[in-house]
């Protein structure tokens, strides 16, 4: 499922369309100290993701509108993004599109660490999406859309690894029984 950020708002942050929305999955706006993340309805990991997202939001109360790089450590893609909105992007954009929880890319409680290769893979995939949307799609003639875009969900469809198979039957992970 796709999240609710427009491609235009994210392109300047090199995230481009990883979070382009369908109308039916609008995340809760982040405002004030009582803000929490509304869970997505189609995700078996929703409880875990929502718990982590709400813990992060609770830790930044009063700083939700500050630029992410002023609130969090090691911000590379989301400079200038409001810190509270970053949580929604991670939860509804990345996690939901890949069908994973925060621990897929992050060390819980130490989100700035670089211990997991999946974190850099996500950055590299984001750069790929930016290239596809910013350059490649614009050069394909006769597309019916005035602004065609791809996003994380285009290929992942709720699976950690993009590729064949349906979202209902996730692709097996290497080493899984």
Asked whether 17 and 150 are in contact (CB, 8 A), the reply is yes
From the list 89, 91, 70, the residue with the least C-alpha distance to 79 is: 70
**pLDDT beyond 80 at 10:** no
Find where tokens 């009582």 sit: 34
The string over 1-15, giving b where at least 16 C-beta atoms fall within 10 Å of a residue's C-beta and e elsewhere, is bbbbbebeebbebbb
**CATH number of the structural domain 7-156:** 1.10.468
SS3 per-residue string spanning 59-105: HCCCCCCCEHHHHCCCCCCCCCCEHHHHHHHHHHHHHHHHCCCHHHC
User: CA 19 from chain center: how many Å?
Assistant: 6
Query: What digits encode the pLDDT tens for the residues 82-117?
Result: 999 999 999 988 998 999 999 999 999 999 999 999
Asked whether 87 and 57 are in contact (CB, 8 A), the reply is yes
Domain ranges of the chain: 7-156
Query: What digits encode the pLDDT tens for the residues 11-39?
Result: 333 333 333 333 333 344 444 444 555 54
User: How far is residue 113's CA from residue 111's CA, in Å, rounded to a whole number?
Assistant: 6
From the list 24, 79, 34, the residue with the least C-alpha distance to 54 is: 34
């Amino acid at each position: 499922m796709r999240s609710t950020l427009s491609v235009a708002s994210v392109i300047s942050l090199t995230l481009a369309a990883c979070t382009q929305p369908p109308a039916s999955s609008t995340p809760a706006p982040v405002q004030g100290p009582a803000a929490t993340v509304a869970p997505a309805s189609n995700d078996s990991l929703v409880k875990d993701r929502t718990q982590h997202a709400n813990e992060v939001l609770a830790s930044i109360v009063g700083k939700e509108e500050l630029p992410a790089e002023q609130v969090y450590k090691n911000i590379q893609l989301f400079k200038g993004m409001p810190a509270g909105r970053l949580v929604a992007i991670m939860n509804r954009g990345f996690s939901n599109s890949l069908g994973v929880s925060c621990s897929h890319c992050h060390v819980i409680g130490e989100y700035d660490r670089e211990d997991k290769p999946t974190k850099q893979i996500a950055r590299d995939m984001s750069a790929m999406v930016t290239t596809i949307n910013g350059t490649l799609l614009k050069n394909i003639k006769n597309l019916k859309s005035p602004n065609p875009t791809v996003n994380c969900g285009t290929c992942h469809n709720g699976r950690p690894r993009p590729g064949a198979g349906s979202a209902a039957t996730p692709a097996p992970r290497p080493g899984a029984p």
